Amino acid sequence: MRSFAEKVFASEVKDEGGRHEISPFDVDEICPISFHEMQAHIFHMENLSMATDGRRKRRFQGRKTVNLSIPQSETSSTKLSHVEEFISSSPTYESVPDFQRVQITGDYASGLAGMATRAPSKGRSQTVESRREILDEINVVTVEDFEVVCKGLYRALCIREKYMQKSFQRFPKTPSKYLRDIDGEALVANESFYPGFLCKGEDPFRTEDLPANLGYHLKMKGGVIYIYPDEAAASRDEPKPYPYPNLDDFLDDMNFLLALIAQGPVKTYSHRRLKFLSSKFQVHQMLNEMDELKELKNNPHRDFYNCRKVDTHIHAAACMNQKHLLRFIKNSYHIDADRVVYSTKEKNLTLKELFAKLNMHPYDLTVDSLDVHAGRQTFQRFDKFNDKYNPVGASELRDLYLKTDNYINGEYFATIIKEVGADLVEAKYQHAEPRLSIYGRSPDEWSKLSSWFVCNRIYCPNMTWMIQVPRIYDVFRSKNFLPHFGKMLENIFLPVFEATINPQAHPDLSVFLKHITGFDSVDDESKHSGHMFSSKSPKPEEWTMENNPSYTYYAYYMYANIMVLNSLRKERGMNTFLFRPHCGEAGALTHLMTAFMIADNISHGLNLKKSPVLQYLFFLAQIPIAMSPLSNNSLFLEYAKNPFLDFLQKGLMISLSTDDPMQFHFTKEPLMEEYAIAAQVFKLSTCDMCEVARNSVLQCGISHEEKAKFLGNNYLEEGPVGNDIRKTNVAQIRMAYRYETWCYELNLIAEGLKSTE
């Protein structure tokens, strides 16, 4: 037996010796070590040569250029390959250390085609990928196609630019520069286009110096509120000359985009460019990761823990974690057992009586019986997820603890939110933008919500606020709460217009609006209305049927009113609002197309992985996307399949947010939990994490002054010039890579259009 055992052992050893020296497990995916070793070696060699003679160094650097495709001839090389060189020679680039760039030389058409030979990226749906791969091989982009594609992308970007500027939302300067270049016009820097944010520092509830009444008259027409100098002008229908939206133009633009995202060559082109972006980043990372890390290590005092990060997507009613809510409920019982807190039709109940009625005692409550956490049961089931907002399944408790308008005037809810705020202040570097609901069911919702806000003095320096509007017209209509959709819009927007025109008559609301930075449109996107928005669609006042309007219909009318409202508020020197809907969590691609046109930024964006054209457009316009992989993991998409890493590598402007800490998170610091899990699962580097954190500050609605404080004074500039590493801890090499890559893609479009002339 021993000899047999020895044989077994020997074979074990042999087996182990060969395989396990380096890898004790089947390593079938990329093992990053060898890259690092190569990099360390190159680095070492460079240092050596630097020490000896300059010539040798130069020779070495000459080999740094990585050619992804073999140059075909010296003469056919276009200007494209020189974009980076042009940029990097600019004097503002001083702060960027030398790094290794990925350059494409040779004819750009061949360069584009060359991309298609790459193996599909690591996505799980490999069959889909490879099918697409074959399609690519057939539909090679021809020069003619290329021109068509560039025209399409150019017009798409112009459309977004127009809608953003009209509504005082954001469009970056760099693509504008390229668009003007194509138009043959000079770029006119217009700072007045920037959205207006609240100035910090003053008493947040100050009502003394509210502006005077303008005396304007308001009337809704075609779902949009029009502003008239007086009632007479209103009856004559002579509105004041604010820029009002034009529905026909919108529908034309929408139809153009609908056609564009389905066009074969545009799909192929976008798909290839995205794949290129992905490969390019991987090469960049391979070559420069250690240099980026070096920058961060030499950056004093700043690390991931003390760079600012904003939770850009969080619902106020679920902003505490389950344990916090449980503790609060138990505490409230401890203190308030005999207080009247709830009113039924028959009688008023004390907290004790309420729990007795529900047949429970708070001492026995646990997070299990509270049952507000998403589990395996909620996956693919938005309806079950919504039920989770009811603690212990009892709507009474939701009403008592998570609502603003109840018997105790939302006191408990206010206290919980203030506790969450206090935790943020203590953590110092974390901010949040909780979203509160306006339903549009009745016109007094705003005054109730704002008086809750002001009376409870809900203010936290680390919080700004948003309004979310659930898309549940159909529910209200079926219960006959509303006569038509127009009324819902009126309930949502008219009070805000009124408070803007006559702030002194609505002091609470005027104060509240100062803290509001944007509007969200929210509901289960996987429900489909079946309605297509067209010129034949009923106007909101005519929309009397019980069916819900489509996502685009909702979004357009929200945007239209926000646009007029922002013009008015801008004129009065008040803060303006951004449109930041939930978009692309599920459902049709038209949602993302709509957001591309009219939303400043979005939450989720998962479905971008289904449309290469929209994904590429979101990249080109650098539209911020607040992703919440833990939320998706419980509802729509398993964590490891989340496109977060893919999008980040391609250079989409991604931030991380919690969505619903009550339902999805376990620890006391939900935002840190979100970052930690992403860092672990996707193996993010510090630079990756700090880049995401920086994106979150750019995306959010905090004031200009604060952004300058958190990101550096130049933060409005794009590229490395706009980055202050001492504040953001993002390597300048990374910033330069992102900026050059972005310019390269924009320049491709410009070049494509030049050659047609």
> In the structure encoding, which two tokens stand for residue 252, read together?
């034309």
Q: Residue from 213, 528, 705, 754 that binds a copy of itself (CB under 8 A)? A: 528
Judged by DSSP in three states, 220 sits in: strand
CB of 465 to a copy of itself, least distance (A): 27
CB of 483 to a copy of itself, least distance (A): 28
Burial grade of 429 (CB within 10 A; 0-12, 13-18, 19 or more): middle
Angle between helices 247-262 and 143-166 (to 10 degrees): 150
Judged by DSSP in three states, 582 sits in: strand
Contact 443, 490 (CB under 8 A): yes
CA separation for the pair 22, 719 (Å, rounded): 40
Q: Residue from 55, 191, 680, 757 that binds a copy of itself (CB under 8 A)? A: 680
CA separation for the pair 41, 409 (Å, rounded): 67
CB of 383 to a copy of itself, least distance (A): 11
Single-letter code of the amino acid located at 498: E
Q: Residue from 38, 119, 425, 640 that binds a copy of itself (CB under 8 A)? A: 640
Active site residue 20: no
Residues 550-609 that bind a copy of itself (CB under 8 A): 586-590, 606-607
From 217, 315, 515, 604, active-site residue: 604
Instruction: Name the one range near a copy of itself by CB under 8 A: 65-73, 524-532, 697-705, 733-741.
Output: 524-532
Instruction: Name the one range near a copy of itself by CB under 8 A: 202-210, 251-259, 274-282, 652-660.
Output: 251-259
Nearer to a copy of itself, 524 or 717 (CB): 524
Q: Residue from 235, 343, 532, 705 that binds a copy of itself (CB under 8 A)? A: 532
Nearer to a copy of itself, 36 or 79 (CB): 36
Q: Residue from 55, 63, 301, 347 that binds a copy of itself (CB under 8 A)? A: 301
Judged by DSSP in three states, 551 sits in: helix
CB of 204 to a copy of itself, least distance (A): 30
CB of 499 to a copy of itself, least distance (A): 38
CB of 737 to a copy of itself, least distance (A): 18
Give the angle subtended at the CA of 627 by the CAs of 386 and 29, to the nearest 5°.
Answer: 120
Angle between helices 612-620 and 264-297 (to 10 degrees): 50
Burial profile 297-321: b = 16 or more Cβ within 10 angstroms, e = fewer: eebeebebeebbbbbbbbbbbbbbb
Note whether 138 binds a copy of itself by CB under 8 A.
no
Q: Residue from 156, 218, 225, 296 that binds a copy of itself (CB under 8 A)? A: 296
Nearer to a copy of itself, 272 or 604 (CB): 604
Nearer to a copy of itself, 448 or 641 (CB): 641
The count of other CB atoms within 10 Å of the CB of residue 420 is: 22
Strand partners, 602: 625
Residues 346-405 that bind a copy of itself (CB under 8 A): 361, 363-369, 371, 375-377, 379-381
Residues 705-734 that bind a copy of itself (CB under 8 A): 729
DSSP 191-218: GGGSPP-PPSSS-TT--TTPPPP---EE
Looking at residue 444, the DSSP 8-state letter turns out to be T
**Binding mask 192-231 vs a copy of itself (x if CB under 8 A, - otherwise)?**
----------------------------------------
Note whether 29 binds a copy of itself by CB under 8 A.
yes
Note whether 667 binds a copy of itself by CB under 8 A.
yes
Q: Residue from 238, 256, 542, 546 that binds a copy of itself (CB under 8 A)? A: 256
Note whether 526 binds a copy of itself by CB under 8 A.
yes
Q: Residue from 109, 258, 358, 472 that binds a copy of itself (CB under 8 A)? A: 258
CA separation for the pair 287, 165 (Å, rounded): 39
Q: CA 659, 661, 666, 672 torsion: positive or negative?
A: positive
Rg (alpha carbons) of the chain, rounded to whole number = 28
Looking at residue 310, the DSSP 8-state letter turns out to be E
* Active site amino acids: 604
